[in-house]
Chains A and B, each alone.
Chain A
């Protein structure tokens, strides 16, 4: 059970406070309700480029990192297709430095043209390092547009192509800030060994005078229901053939979301999962195989991916895989199997909740999804999932017409 308090400042900033009396550190976590899905199609990669610029100085503070390091703290941030999340971890005695820095960059950014130039290059190097210069690194750049035809999930957080980042102008970036970075579009979570009254007075002091702004209205195109099996083969200079089966699934706020999570665990979480035992251990078709969900707020994906053993064809794999998938739609998952999946989920939740930063980030995410209290409801929802639920969701999800398959063919296979 993770306890917390919640209050909202007059300007609309939502604040979550989580007390942990055992730690000398404090976390200041700021979630902005903006991600790559909020970009326009001809200017992708902006939310992420912007995240980099958030460290280039704000209206009253020339540079973000130095004062935080001076306070003994460190920070980082990440951008996803859904959100942008910034965190600072510092000795709790110095919490005010964290609030001073974060509130100033919520108030107004002041990065220089040089900062834009440099971060543009840094992001391009990141693009190369993560997506272009790794075997299988560009898979998601290919898979997204295969699955999504309308919804902005069709491009990756890093951007659709490097040219969008190269072409970003100062004006583009400024209007992005104006639209998305304001108190009414943010959730602040403070976690550590302090008192609620202090949190209230400090947040009022540092954030109270920031103009509330308008929460942007999100009006994203709806991805039409997929009606046909899709398949794409790409040839790459990789040593081994790889496959990615992507099934459309319910959005994050749907009541069946966690059931799909359990379904993906049954398929491929660990070395006791169905696909591992059947396709690897029994039939020796693959060298590795796994299944997971993307965790997206809008309709996300259940993905099954792995690599073929030498001499095995994509067709061999396909036949064996669909046989396993259809077993889940025709037969109920045995109770002991479901118990195994649940205890694994419970164990990872306990470990996840161990870290102060994780708790702060999860509370912020749940607050965005509909209420931080939901963080304490998940375990019970998981526990109540039945074999019948899993079968129903398997029937809805694991259909050929709901599936997009990306095959990466090794063009120098032995």
Chain B
């Protein structure tokens, strides 16, 4: 009979192997990162462009991102898709506030051919009238569907308040902007931000050096010549902003404030505070608002990073009748972290949990590459994660309280509720 009362003895995580991809410098502004050590046939490449939402107006960056594969003068969109799909490629393109990324997953033997197709498609996109028309009709439709979701509405409203000081960061897509855009505007943006906009290439997979050289040659013409700065000055508009959505049985809540990124001295310790508050299943918010009160299916907090700054966010969807009660409890939890010291037991739990999760996020070439990239974007090397290990081990209850007092003041938050 095993002893079922006592937890088996735990072994501490003393070190983690962090492995960097190989860097190939392409220019002052742009590098290619290659993670070669992949023990199977899979591969991936990412093309990063300085073509995020903040670089344009009226939804244009997002439309251009969505139209990158819409056809060149030699090939229709159907032909481009067929070339990629016939080689088993999965293409994904996405845009965030500060960048635009095109990603392909495929077997490594087909990576060279798919890479060529994708780069040519991006370089030669003509913004064919019919394709643009079709795309905008689809966007209009999907926007209308999104606008029926309380989560989407709250997220957009929150962005407006979070980035209140910057129009290009707080922009949210509207139907009238979809209707107003012209092909000329799309072409201008593409020329400026894609034909002269590539600022990072990532390759994961057991790909030969010859192929890496081909890839470097293929992208040389579109490398960004000089990297524009990103803003480091964003301030949110504190206050409570509520919006009614007829017929909604749940309310979406988003609240937070502008904060910082990995380049700030408080970042690593704040990450621990964030975990305690809302970033794991046993967090204060989950324990109170889901597991004690049953108000929600889920609630969480996070730090989101931008090139020059960052922000803190708490998000949940709750029964409409308990929205105010939920906000009250969130306030209680943020204030409790300021007024009471975290117990050693809880801190020990969070330490162990975070170490285990860091170990996991370095497990395997894909996870390791992403971990590397999230430090690289802030000019950090993998040493940063050794600092993270140290910070997790050395954190004290007093330090947590100090950070809570500094950054979790209720009056500093922008609070949005839609429902």
Please report A residues at the B interface, Cβ cutoff 8 Å.
Answer: 22-25, 59-61, 65-67, 69-74, 89-91, 93-94, 96-97, 100, 103-104, 107, 117-126, 128-130, 132-136, 205-206, 209, 237-240, 270-272, 277, 281, 284, 287-288, 307, 309-310, 336, 339-340, 343-344, 346-348, 350-351, 353-356
Given known pairs A66-B282, A91-B11, A288-B138, the reply for A350 and B41 (CB within 8 Å) is yes
10 tightest CB-CB pairs across the interface, nearest first? A72-B356, A121-B294, A96-B8, A347-B88, A239-B144, A343-B88, A93-B11, A60-B4, A126-B297, A69-B353
Of the listed stretches B77-85, B160-168, B381-389, name the one at the interface; the rest are far from the partner chain: B77-85
Q: Cα distance A306–B282 when bound, in Å?
A: 39
Q: Which of chain A's residues have a CB closer than 8 A to the CB of B63?
A: none
Check B90 against A348 for contact (C-beta < 8 Å).
Answer: yes
Check A100 against B86 for contact (C-beta < 8 Å).
Answer: no
Q: Which of chain B's residues have a CB closer than 8 A to the CB of A120?
A: 294
Check B42 against A351 for contact (C-beta < 8 Å).
Answer: yes
B18 sits at the interface (CB 8 A) = no
Q: Which of chain A's residues have a CB closer than 8 A to the CB of B106?
A: 347
Select the residue from B8, B144, B247, B355 with max chain A CB neighbours within 10 A: B8
Select the residue from B88, B150, B248, B280 with max chain A CB neighbours within 10 A: B88
B236 to chain A, nearest CB (A): 26
Q: Cα distance A340–B106 when bound, in Å?
A: 13
Between A and B, 5 residue pairs with Cβ closer than 8 Å are A91-B356, A91-B359, A339-B86, A340-B85, A346-B107
Check B297 against A118 for contact (C-beta < 8 Å).
Answer: no
Q: Cα distance A124–B293 when bound, in Å?
A: 13
Select A129's contact among B148, B247, B317, B360, beta carbons within 8 Å.
B317
Interface of B is mostly: mixed
B292 to chain A, nearest CB (A): 7
Check A72 against B87 for contact (C-beta < 8 Å).
Answer: no
Interface of A is mostly: helix
Check B296 against A69 for contact (C-beta < 8 Å).
Answer: no
Select A65's contact among B1, B87, B137, B282, beta carbons within 8 Å.
B282
B287 to chain A, nearest CB (A): 9
Q: Which of chain A's residues have a CB closer than 8 A to the CB of B142?
A: 287
Q: Cα distance A234–B293 when bound, in Å?
A: 35
Q: Mark B276-301, 1 if CB is under 8 A from A, else 0.
A: 00001110000000111111110000
Q: Which of chain A's residues have a CB closer than 8 A to the CB of B77?
A: 271, 281
Check A271 against B4 for contact (C-beta < 8 Å).
Answer: no
Check A135 against B148 for contact (C-beta < 8 Å).
Answer: yes
Q: Which of chain A's residues have a CB closer than 8 A to the CB of B134?
A: 281, 284
B191 to chain A, nearest CB (A): 25
Check B81 against A272 for contact (C-beta < 8 Å).
Answer: yes
Total chain B interface residues with beta-carbon distance under 8 A: 70
Q: Which of chain B's residues have a CB closer than 8 A to the CB of A205?
A: 2
Check A69 against B282 for contact (C-beta < 8 Å).
Answer: yes
Closest to A75 in B: B281
Given known pairs A94-B10, A240-B144, the reply for A354 and B88 (CB within 8 Å) is no
Q: Mark B140-174, 1 if CB is under 8 A from A, else 0.
A: 01101101111000000000000000000000000
Check B105 against A351 for contact (C-beta < 8 Å).
Answer: yes
B7 sits at the interface (CB 8 A) = yes
Q: Cα distance A120–B40 when bound, in Å?
A: 44
B13 sits at the interface (CB 8 A) = yes
Check B78 against A237 for contact (C-beta < 8 Å).
Answer: no
B402 sits at the interface (CB 8 A) = no
Check A72 against B149 for contact (C-beta < 8 Å).
Answer: no
Select A336's contact among B13, B86, B147, beta carbons within 8 Å.
B86
Select the residue from B85, B295, B356 with max chain A CB neighbours within 10 A: B356
Given known pairs A91-B11, A94-B11, the reply for A118 and B293 (CB within 8 Å) is yes
Given known pairs A237-B247, A354-B366, the reply for A104 and B4 (CB within 8 Å) is yes
Q: Cα distance A390–B39 when bound, in Å?
A: 34
Check B90 against A347 for contact (C-beta < 8 Å).
Answer: yes
A111 to chain B, nearest CB (A): 12
Check B7 against A72 for contact (C-beta < 8 Å).
Answer: no
Q: Which of chain B's residues have a CB closer than 8 A to the CB of A70?
A: 7, 10, 348-349, 352-353
Check B148 against A209 for contact (C-beta < 8 Å).
Answer: no
B319 sits at the interface (CB 8 A) = yes
A258 to chain B, nearest CB (A): 17
Q: Cα distance A310–B140 when bound, in Å?
A: 11
Q: Cα distance A25–B360 when bound, in Å?
A: 7
Given known pairs A72-B357, A240-B145, A354-B40, the reply for A209 and B1 (CB within 8 Å) is yes
Check B294 against A118 for contact (C-beta < 8 Å).
Answer: yes
Q: Cα distance A301–B66 when bound, in Å?
A: 32
B5 sits at the interface (CB 8 A) = yes
Select B363's contact among A24, A132, A270, beta carbons within 8 Å.
A24
